[in-house]
Structure 1
């Protein structure tokens, strides 16, 4: 009876791990495509025009508010750099540069999941013994 219970529990946990692996596999394929789409939209011709209009409007508002020329220019440069640095971060994420690559990330997540499952098993076992 106890052996049967343990077997069912292990089977359920194995199924959970397999299901999670499938989900992570799909995510690892879909997320890069999503990021590539975002980058394409951020660096498109239309996005460039919109960014230029936004920067010009930002600068104009600063000047109309009485901001000195030098400060308005520096603030506008900072405003624009926010957009470009976001694009660079996304590019690095896709290329795997300066970060954990897909396989390493998958292994790390798998390791963490196994640790959590082991903790849960131990906790359940302790609760059952009480």
Structure 2
């Protein structure tokens, strides 16, 4: 929830539930790496465990409409956390800096920046039943 507060303060809310949740995970991991790096690996290990869940609904549109159950919610959080960690390992705070420069964010701006910085996310989106950026 602290990461969501930062999103509001920094005008980084997009109005897209999954994208805001993804960004909150990224911000949380960024802060955790600086403040409590000893907690990052247990969180990532737990996320790897949760990523093996098999929820019935895996589409971002279902997530957006709050369709699903606890298993689905945990699976999505794990996916967002693990992808956020990959982004942090590759570009550090680059995504945050790009988002801050573009603030205030909206749906289109958030998606555009993600794909400009990380075009390989198109394949990640496909795992959620999307052909391209949502």
Q: Which has the higher helix share?
A: 1
TM-score (norm 2): 0.24
- Which one has a bigger Cα radius of gyration? 1
TM-score (norm 1): 0.25
